[in-house]
Amino acid sequence: MTQASRWLDGYLRAWRSKAPDDVRALFTDDAEYWFRPDDPDPVRGIDAIIEMWIEDEPAEPVFELEVLIEDERLGMIKGHVDYPGHEFYWNLWEVHFAPDGRAVRFVEWFMTPRAAETADGGSPT
């Protein structure tokens, strides 16, 4: 199993458990968590990441995620996350690894699907 695959497995475990120790195993003490690449105020530091992480979700997420490419410093993960009845996201994640395999920087690149077009080619109203 690769470093990025181990990290993704840990991410999914922490996402389900919301246990501070599971989150702490993923991120360095000084890690940055960027919700978008142009985030003006990323979450900084493990305590802030844990506090953000344990917030309630709008629904039980359904996801399909996989490692796209990696080396010892960076993992790229792609896939989608669906919060049924709320929102669907296409994702590309940057995971910048510290030497111990935890993330020192995490950046989400996400998109929501375009609105479906109507039969006449126009946008739905």
User: Which CATH number do you get for residue 32?
Assistant: 3.10.450.50
Q: Which residues lie below 8 Å from residue 115, measured CB to CB, with a gap of 6+? A: 123, 124
Average pLDDT of the segment spanning 1-5: 91
Q: Between residues 61 and 22, which one has the greater pLDDT?
A: 22
- pLDDT at residue 116 in the model: 58
Does residue 123 lie within any of the structural domains?
no
Tally of domains within the chain = 1
Does residue 76 lie within any of the structural domains?
yes
Q: Which residues lie below 8 Å from residue 114, measured CB to CB, with a gap of 6+? A: none
Query: Using CA atoms, how far apart are residues 64 and 51, in angstroms rounded to an integer?
Result: 25
Q: Per-residue confidence at 118, pLDDT binned at 50, 70, 90?
A: very low
Computed over every residue of the chain, the mean pLDDT equals: 89
For β-strands 62-70 and 87-97, DSSP reports them as unpaired
Q: Per-residue confidence at 98, pLDDT binned at 50, 70, 90?
A: very high
**Residue 48 reports pLDDT greater than 70:** yes
Which amino acid belongs to residue 85?
G
